[in-house]
Amino acid sequence: MLWRGQNRVGFLPGSAKAQLTALLLALAAAPVALMMALFTDIRAFFLWLLMWPVALMPRRWWRTALLLVLIPAMLALLAQLTQPPQAPYFMLVVLVLSVCEQVMEDGRPGAFNLIGVIFPALCVMVLSTNVFVFLLLLVAVIFYAGVYTLRINDMPLSGLRIRLLPIVVALSGSLFFAIAAFILMPRINPAAIPGLVAPQATSGVGDRLDMGRFSNVILNGDDAFRAFVDKPLAQKDLYWRVHVLGLMDGASWSRDPRRDAQIGALPFDKRLGQVDETLRYGIRHARQAPDWHPVLGIALAARIDDNARLNRYGEYVKRTRTSVLDQQVLVTSSLDDPYRANVPVSLQISGQPKLAAWARENFAQAGSRQVFIDRLLAHFASGEYQYTLRPETLDGVPSGRLDSFFFDTKNGYCSHYAMAMATALRAAGIPAHVVVGYHGGEWNGFGQYYRIRQSDAHAWVEAEIEPGEWLRLDPTQVVPSAVGRFRARQLEGVSVETLPGWRGVMQRGLQRVDAFVVRLNSDIVLYDEAARRELLSGTVLGRLISFVSFWLVASLAFIVPLFLWRWWVRRDPMVRLDQQFLALASKDGLARAAYEGRMSFARRWARATPLLAEPVEQFADLFCRLSYGAPPEANAAAKARDELKMRLRLIRAARRNMT
């Protein structure tokens, strides 16, 4: 429908003033709405856009009737995107329905519409640990507040060049005091708020391993966690244990759910032997409320905090089903391999008769566990097997799929080799289990941490080679076609500080940026009550510097583009000359009103200061002829600008003579 009437234009309802306000507010709030939609469902962004015409409708009875129908429909649509009563549903409800009152009938912003932008922005800031998202939303909120201030005070767009800078400075000051309050006031761990985070974390590893689903994880480049250590470690030690899978069911392995009832029993037993290598490191998950904590080697502490406890298999799990694991923790572990521990043993297998018969026959020939293990690894390294993330589909019943892989297809990725090896070991009477976790990681020497991505997800085997002595076995690494992939992982573990050429310069720059972002993430996004007490105790100056740096970066992120825009406008020589003319008038206490033409202003200045009348009126006359007359040739325009400069010099000289 084409809306007609006084001050109505285009296909949207409302006056031209209301349409302009809606356009500016929508552009300012779009980053917040888009980020909120990306964290929930992208379709919510389009629902948000569809609500803007409703904000421009006149406040009549038929608009109220439309809202009575539209609001329940929107609630039902949003419920299809994010199920209530989860917190993201209510975030989207506030975001989408608040659009209805964004613009009042007189064209000004609504009195309470800031809630519809700031609340979703704060929710995304809490849910995201990405500092780039954090800064983007903060700048978007500042920009929205600036536009809101301009429009609610009925300031025209022509006033942006004059009035926007004081507003930005005021917002920067408000941000400074907000950060100060952020530091001084206690913080609440958002993961502890019921419904604020999803009950299941998104991770690359799970408590069940099947053939055919792990390759999607390995192809995922998202961050999993970062591990903070004092120095880079040997590549052979970079195995981050997450889950130990001891139950076999056909061609899949899973965790024993009964093991979490055995919490607090330390699997490592010092009576079995002393620890040769110990390590203390910090873990920071990329997402909140993880379901596990990775262990490098074997854990040496029965608990990390009140929520994470160790079970008999060496996994850090929730103390209770309702416990919420912290996003960052400190872990102490042993890098010994083999290691000595009282881990429950199992020889249970399911199906795979051909593989079981092959294992028993070869173990009888080998005569010892170690010789059989060496023979099994040599079999995988023979060249018959291929490493691929897109293996052939294994047909048949699950009880024979490992047989099909081991004897027929002979191509797969880490889960195929790990499950086949663990099955063969158990069939030979050697206790073994499959371990899923991560291998390797990219070392960042600027931040002293390893960056582990979901693509580093891996599966390997642990076998009991002697009573109470367990050895890590990675059959995938011996497959010839997998050597290149693991060599690339080893290169990631090497510091880029010594890499030559432009590639080294680029990677060092990227790692510096990543280290800076991680530091801000730690000091600001993950700032909690313990960090607040530590800061106020005076022991950590670095965090205070990070907060001040954050304030400066957030302020400059909006102020610098403004100055660049002003500088770009001033590149026009006529604009610079006009600004110099107005600056001289301001020294005499005069300012040109928005409705006042330049000739009228020049005459008013001449009446107020008769000694300046001639050069002032000549400047204004020549300026108007150049600005609004027929465009002169290039040489003539340059001469005219030189003449304007001469008139300005005459005005300055006359003012000096007056004093």
Q: What is the pLDDT of residues 63-107, one digit of tens each?
A: 888 888 888 888 888 888 877 766 677 778 888 888 888 887 777
Please list the residues that pair with 149 across neighbouring strands: none
pLDDT at 499 over 70: no
Q: What is the DSSP string of 17-41?
A: HHHHHHHHHHHHHHHHHHHHHHHS-
Q: How confident is the model at residue 567 (pLDDT cuts 50, 70, 90)?
A: low
pLDDT at 428 over 90: yes
- b/e 613-647 (16+ beta carbons within 10 angstroms → b): bebbbbbbeebeebeeeeeeeeeeeeebbeebeeb
Q: How distant, in Å, are the alpha carbons of 345, 376, 475, 478 from that of 382? A: 30, 10, 12, 9
- Asked if residue 109 has pLDDT above 70, the reply is yes
Q: Which residue has the higher pLDDT, 546 or 237?
A: 237
Residue with tokens 């406008």: 569
Q: How far apart are CA 22 and CA 17, in angstroms?
A: 9
Contacts of 37 (CB under 8 A, 6+ apart): 43, 44, 45, 48, 92
Whether pLDDT at 434 is above 90? yes
Q: What is the pLDDT of residue 130?
A: 57
For position 155, what pLDDT does the model report? 56
656: pLDDT strictly greater than 90: no
Q: 211-257: per-residue pLDDT in tens?
A: 765 555 555 667 888 899 988 888 888 999 999 998 998 888 888 77
**What contacts 139, CB < 8 A, 6 or more positions away?**
554, 557, 558
Q: So what's the pLDDT on residue 580?
A: 84
What is the distance between the alpha carbons of residues 206 and 243, in angstroms, rounded to a whole number?
A: 7
224 near 453, Cβ under 8 Å?
A: yes
pLDDT for the residue numbered 105: 77
Higher pLDDT among residues 45 and 121, named by residue: 45
Kindly tell me if the per-residue pLDDT of 501 is higher than 80: no
Tokens of 141: 């909120």
Q: What is the reported pLDDT for 486?
A: 67
Confidence of residue 191 (pLDDT cuts 50, 70, 90): very low
Residue type, 523: D
State percent of the chain over pLDDT 70. 69
Q: Please state, in angstroms and rounded to a whole number, the distance separating the CA atoms of residues 616 and 476.
A: 85
The mean per-residue pLDDT over the stretch 612-623 comes to: 87
Indicate if the pLDDT at residue 420 is higher than 90: yes
Q: Which of 110-124, 223-237, 475-489 has the highest mean pLDDT?
A: 223-237
pTM of the entire predicted model? 0.61
**Residue 423 and residue 352 in contact, taking contact as beta carbons nearer than 8 Å:** yes
Q: What is the mean pLDDT of residues 60-65?
A: 86
Predicted confidence at residue 111, as pLDDT, reads 61
CA distance 560 to 70: 42
pLDDT at 271: 44
Least confident of 245-254, 415-424, 547-556: 547-556
Residue 542 reports pLDDT greater than 70: no
Averaged pLDDT, 189-195: 46
* Residue 297 φ/ψ, nearest 5 degrees: 90, -125
pLDDT above 50: residue 194: no
What number is the average pLDDT over the span 496-522?
Answer: 68
Q: Could you give the CA distance from residue 201 to residue 129 in angstroms, rounded to a whole number?
A: 14
pLDDT confidence tier of residue 6, bands split at 50, 70 and 90: very low
- State yes or no: pLDDT of 56 exceeds 70: yes
Percent pLDDT > 90 in the chain is 10
Question: What tens digit of pLDDT does each residue of 130-183 get?
Answer: 556 766 777 777 778 777 777 776 655 443 444 455 556 655 665 565 555 555
Average pLDDT, rounded, for the chain: 76
User: How far apart are alpha carbons 317 and 562 in whole angstroms?
Assistant: 50
What does the pLDDT look like over 363-408, one tens digit per residue? 999 889 999 999 999 999 988 898 888 787 776 666 678 888 899 8
Averaged pLDDT for residues 615-635: 80
Confidence of residue 189 (pLDDT cuts 50, 70, 90): very low
Comparing C-alpha atoms, which of 332, 360, 320, 361 is closest to residue 266? 332
